Amino acid sequence: MTTSTAPLPIQACSPAEAAREVAREIAALIRERRAAGRMAVLCLPTGRTPLGVYDELVRMQRDEALDFANVTTFNLDEFLGLPPEHPQSFRRYMRERFFARIGLEPTHTWIPSGDVAPAQIAAHCAEYEREIADAGGLDYALLGIGRNGHIGFNEPGSARDSRTREVRLHEVTRADAARAFGGLEFVPERAITMGVATILGARRVRVLAFGADKRDILRRTLEDTPGPQVPATFLRGHPDVRLLADGAALGR
């Protein structure tokens, strides 16, 4: 796939509608895969944006007998320097907000390790790519978008062909995380992220954006010439991508 100036398909909807729509798609994928005797492979984000989707999937398990036994998940990213139990680690977020609530087997959930030894980071990232490939690739990538246009932690400057790797976090990303960490000085400076090419390898990509603080970056994502200055622009041209955004984010 080459960089494309194709428009990004947009679905204007409320956060609640987006959560229901995405959860419905994920549930259909899981059931279709189970009928075929296969795993459904999901790529998942943390942050505020996907919480409604996780709540809705938990509800579907309870009310509609949605079974997650054939699901494997790969998270987008993790802060470096945080042990798994750190309150701000993405591993802990995922366990508390989603995995423990649906009883997902820890062996089916992959998250880059935040406490991998510096000398092992490159090998750990290569292993993450191998695990995704061995799982048969990502079926469905759910993404949020940072105010600086990052997807995962692919910060401005990230290449279209980037793979899972160590990155230095952008100042906007660290500033946005500062409150949760109790101060900018406590926010890690580095992270591991799936690459842009890794994400674009997903067979289906859904991007969620809600609220007025995403308006400027959404406009640039939709209108700028695709390039590393706004990594989310690389999503344009993916064969099965859709942005689900509310009126505040779309400026409507």
- 231 lines the binding site for ligand F6R (CB under 6 A): no
Nearest to 76 by CA among 1, 128, 133: 128
Nearest to 206 by CA among 159, 133, 145: 145
DSSP, collapsed to helix, strand or coil, labels residue 201 as coil
Diameter of the chain measured on Cα atoms: 49
Query: Which one of 16-24, 103-111, 146-154, 233-241 is the stretch in contact with ligand F6R (CB under 6 A)?
Result: 146-154
Binding-site member from 57, 76, 104, 200 for ligand F6R (CB under 6 A): 76
Binding-site member from 95, 150, 165, 204 for ligand F6R (CB under 6 A): 150
- The residues, ordered by sequence, that sit 6+ positions from 78 with a Cβ below 8 Å of its Cβ are 89, 90, 91, 111, 112, 113, 114, 191, 192
Give catalytic residues, as residue numbers: 77, 148, 150, 155
Binding-site member from 15, 52, 114, 144 for ligand F6R (CB under 6 A): 144
Query: Which one of 28-36, 53-61, 126-134, 151-159 is the stretch in contact with ligand F6R (CB under 6 A)?
Result: 151-159
Q: For ligand F6R, give the closer residue by CB, 28 or 186.
A: 186
Cβ-closest position to ligand F6R: 144
Q: How, if at all, do strands 140-143 and 109-110 pair?
A: unpaired
Q: How far apart are CA 145 and CA 231, in angstroms?
A: 10
Query: Which one of 41-49, 113-121, 132-140, 184-192 is the stretch in contact with ligand F6R (CB under 6 A)?
Result: 41-49
Residues that bind ligand F6R (CB under 6 A): 45-49, 76-77, 90, 144-146, 150-153
